[in-house]
């Protein structure tokens, strides 16, 4: 693929994103004369926007709520993106077609290792959510020895369908009447908590020694992460995942590894300023 003409993050909403600052810090550090910007795109405009960007030779990222819909617009998906059924990264290939990839798997692995220090073996995961982010989490878990997952979602049919796609490691349970989550690691893979202090599950429903991972990034963390930590849980928000998936996307676009420290510096500065 040729160097992208520009980089764009597509989402709805998208103004809250830390990605433009992080990626521009990496671009400046690498002396690459391309800039990254955020673009709010309504669902009905997604296909036309992606096709326009492809004609311009642009590349970029996809975030909530477009990850699954964007995958259906691509001319080609990488094997990993096809398995997940969602993308978070796109680019124009050397033969001129729109390609979708998924670096959320690498990002989730970075989040887990940043918290645990290693890839878990034989861990039980409780995954709240059944969308594209949850599918990426399951794809990561699928590659870890002896790990299994239970999917909890408000849409029980969607959760069951996702569990069937990852049936070797996943099963689905109804959120209705759940009094306690028993997983060693509990993951919020929904947007719940991005705006306001709503929580995906009650903190008192967590097992005493469970690790709490929230894929959401907020300057002051989510209420769920703060509450879980106050209750004695090891807990982290999604910033390590944001860095991991962003670094992997940068490498796809430019064929080189970005300056991760420059990216971290920008993320820390953005959090302090908000």
Structural domains of the chain sorted by starting position, each given as residue range(s) with its CATH number in brackets: 7-102+240-273 (3.40.50.10860), 105-237 (3.40.50.720)
Cα(58)–Cα(66) distance, integer angstroms: 17
| Residue whose entry in the numeric block shows the structure tokens 């309504």 | 42
- DSSP lists the bridge partners of residue 124 as 148
Could you write out the DSSP letters of every residue in the chain?
A: -PPPS-EEEEESS-TT-SHHHHHHHHHHHTT----EEEEE--GGGHHHHHHHHHHHT-EEEE-TT-HHHHHHH-SEE-HHHHHHT--SEEEE-TTS-EEEE--HHHHHHHHHHHHHSS--SS-EEEEE--SHHHHHHHHHHHTSTT-EEEEEESSHHHHHHHHHHTTTTEEEEESTT---B--SEEEE-SSTTSSSS--SS-GGGB-TT-EEEE----TT--HHHHHHHHTT--EE-SHHHHHHHHHHHHHHHHSS---HHHHHHHHHHHHHH-
pLDDT at residue 174, rounded to an integer: 85
pLDDT at residue 274, rounded to an integer: 73
How far apart, in Å, do the first and last CA atoms of the chain sit?
37
Q: Tens digit of pLDDT per residue, the chain (274 long)? A: 789 999 999 999 998 899 999 999 999 999 999 999 999 999 999 999 999 999 999 999 999 999 999 999 999 999 999 999 999 999 999 999 999 999 999 999 999 999 999 999 999 999 999 999 999 999 999 999 999 999 999 899 999 999 999 999 999 998 877 778 989 999 999 999 999 999 999 888 999 999 999 999 999 999 999 999 999 999 999 999 999 999 999 999 999 999 999 999 999 999 988 7
Cα(195)–Cα(213) distance, integer angstroms: 17
Cα(165)–Cα(38) distance, integer angstroms: 32
The pTM of the full predicted model, rounded to 2 decimals, is 0.96
Nearest to 185 by CA among 136, 147, 132: 147
Helices 19-29 and 239-254 cross at an angle (nearest 10°) of: 50
pLDDT at residue 2, rounded to an integer: 82
User: What would you measure as the largest C-alpha separation in the chain, in angstroms?
Assistant: 54
Cα(152)–Cα(161) distance, integer angstroms: 12
pLDDT at residue 179, rounded to an integer: 78
Residue positions annotated with a catalytic role: 67
Residue 272, CA distances (Å) to 3, 24, 223, 230 in order: 33, 18, 18, 21
């Amino acid at each position: 693929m040729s160097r992208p003409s520009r980089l764009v993050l597509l989402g709805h909403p998208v103004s809250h994103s830390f990605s433009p600052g992080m990626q521009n810090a990496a671009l400046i550090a690498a002396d690459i004369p391309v800039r990254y910007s955020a673009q709010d795109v309504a669902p009905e405009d997604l296909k036309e926007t992606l096709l326009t960007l492809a004609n311009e030779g642009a590349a970029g990222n996809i975030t909530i709520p477009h990850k699954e819909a964007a995958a259906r617009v691509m001319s080609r998906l990488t094997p990993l993106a096809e398995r997940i059924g969602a993308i978070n990264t796109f680019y124009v290939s050397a033969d001129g077609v729109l390609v979708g990839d998924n670096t959320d798997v690498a990002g989730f692995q970075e989040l887990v290792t940043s918290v645990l220090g290693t890839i878990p073996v034989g861990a039980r995961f409780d995954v709240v959510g059944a969308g594209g982010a949850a599918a990426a989490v399951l794809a990561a878990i699928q590659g870890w020895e002896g790990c299994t997952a239970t999917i909890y979602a408000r849409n029980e049919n969607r959760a069951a369908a996702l569990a069937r796609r990852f049936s070797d490691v996943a099963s689905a349970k109804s959120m209705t009447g759940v009094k306690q989550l028993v997983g060693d690691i509990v993951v919020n893979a929904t947007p719940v908590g991005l705006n306001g202090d709503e929580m995906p599950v009650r903190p008192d429903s967590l097992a005493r020694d469970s690790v709490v991972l929230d894929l959401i990034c907020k300057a002051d963390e989510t209420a769920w992460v703060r509450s879980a930590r106050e209750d004695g849980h090891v807990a982290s928000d999604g910033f390590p995942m944001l860095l991991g998936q962003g670094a992997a996307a940068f490498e796809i676009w430019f064929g080189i590894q970005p300056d991760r420290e420059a990216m971290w510096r920008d993320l820390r500065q953005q959090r302090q300023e908000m």
